[in-house]
Structure 1
Amino acid sequence: MATYNGEKFIRQQLLSILPQLSSHDEIIISDDGSIDQTLTIVAQLDDQRIRVSRNEGLSGPLGNFEQAIQRATHNLVLLADQDDVWLPDKVEVMRSLLQTYDLVLSDCQVVDGSGLVIHDSFFRHRGSRPGFWNNLFKNSYVGCCMAFRRDTTNYIFPFPAQVHMHDWWIGLLVEAKGRVYFYQKPLIQYVRHGANASPTGEVGYNLIRQLQNRFLLLFHVVKRLVV
């Protein structure tokens, strides 16, 4: 989990995750210099499974998530945003599917900050489907819905500084090199409250920037594959 000024939602998010974990699991939080009560709220939970690193200047979510993933010590990695809610069977489903696949992307419910459903299926709203070219053209790799085997870090690291976001990069690389599965049931409530650290899709980017994002992703994926 990458955090930055997430005091409004982080408690409910962690309380949705912790009951699903065993005593041997871990939550890695990489905080990019929060100046609100985010880390105080985390500390108040007083759970030994939560490991926090405090950082500054990590180039936003891209660098923050890269550091969080690097600190993970277990074989399976589930990405989490600071402001969503995990449904009760998320960890169990992901753990089972990752015995077969290198990366799993689940559907989600899209909700507002009050928990009201905006879209009951992100996949259906987005037209999501697997495939490298499908997702280069119209990305469905939302990080908070992703889980992957830790051995994929042998080729997804380091994140190129020029790529748009970590989740799109990871998804495309595993599409190219590994086994991907799209799980058709929602496993989280994906909260869109207007102050999220990253937009859904490429909201706010003009056509030139969107084309640049795809060119840079394709360039760096090809470069990584031929190394």
Structure 2
Amino acid sequence: MKISVCMASYNGGLYIKEQILSILKQLGKEDELIISDDGSSDTTSAIVQEINDSRVNFILNNGKKGYTKNFENALEKASGDVIFLSDQDDVWVDNKVKVMLSHLEISDMVVSNATIVDSQLKVIAKSHFHMYNVKKGFWNNFLKTRYIGACMAFKRKVLDKALPFPENPKYCAHDYWLTIVGEAFYKISIEEVPLLLYRRHGKNASNGGNKSQNPLLFKVYVRIYTLFNLLKRMLRK
């Protein structure tokens, strides 16, 4: 069984090496780490090249910019039987891969808990699940998901169903779409033990589960747009 870890990078030079090393030590010789870069202007590319590991595939996102399309670019290149998502600035707990794979023996997708930390990895909150009352279920997560993309792993069939992502990422972020596809079509498992140090440093691409400042009308449109695309996916042969 081959593992593909898909990471989106953009000006991640400050933290990306620590994250890459925390991932690679948990992968086998035949596994891969695909890093899709959105046109970084810092040292990201040089840092990745210095690591000099044949399992790392550093590619450029030549399509639409933004973290959702950047993740999609990485996922399209994945060749593994199991796919993990990774942000550029977190740190994986040492037994993350082993524990997540144990869930995938009986489930199609697993979402782990995370410890929320600051830029120096000092603990802000021990449990993302506790802070945001994370629960399984389609309607729970359709109305207000708290799943973190970087805490997800899933089987190839989930990815095949999810790709391509809906056209407009403004109305359907990658982790929200994967959540909805997973809950709608597959068996989801939850791991209560935090397997990720989820770094919040003020320049993150996502809001980390914090309350959105978007107006109500926008939130309604997001859900209509997502549901419309989900129905189309149901009809796809």
TM-score bracket for the superposition, by shorter chain length: over 0.9
Counterpart residue identity of residue 209, structure 1: F
Which piece of structure 1 moves more, 107-116 or 160-169?
160-169
Q: Give the distance between the partners of 2:162 and 2:11, measured in 1 at CA.
A: 27
Greater shift, 50-59 or 178-187, is seen at: 50-59
1:27 to 11, 22, 33: 33
Cα shift at 1:57: 4.4
For 1:213, the equivalent position in structure 2 comes to 222
Task: Note the residue ranges of structure 2 that are not aligned, 5 or more in a row.
Answer: 1-6
Alignment partners' CA distance in 1, 2:24 and 2:156 = 20
Q: Does 1:190 align with 2:235?
A: no
2:141 maps to what in 1? 135
Within the alignment, does 1:43 sit opposite 2:49 as a pair? yes
Partner of 1:166: 174
Deviations 1:88-122 (A, max 9, x none): 00011112211221110000001111111111100
- CA deviations on 1:149-208 (whole Å, 9 max, x unpaired) are 012222111100234211110111111111101111100011111101122235332222
Question: What's the TM-score, normalizing by structure 1?
Answer: 0.96
* 2:91 pairs with 1:82: no
The residue number in structure 1 matching 2:3 is none
SS of 1:214's equivalent?
helix
CA distance in 2, matches of 1:35, 1:209: 32
Alignment match, 2:183:
175
CA contact (8 A) 2:91 2:196 kept: yes
Q: Which amino acid aligns with 2:214?
A: Y
Aligned residues: 227
Q: Does 1:101 align with 2:107?
A: yes
Q: Taking structure 2 as the reference length, what is the TM-score of the superposition? A: 0.92
Deviates more, 1:196-205 or 1:1-10: 196-205
Asked whether 1:67 is paired with 2:76, we answer no
The question of 1:9 aligning with 2:15 is answered yes
Letter in 2 for 1:65: F
Of the structure 1 ranges 41-50 and 152-161, higher mean CA displacement relative to structure 2 is found in 152-161
Report the identity percentage.
42
Equivalent AA in structure 2 for residue 30 of structure 1 = S
SS of 2:25 mapped into structure 1: helix
Amino acid paired to 2:226: L
Structure 1 regions of 5+ residues with no counterpart? none
Distance 1:127 1:17 in 2: 27
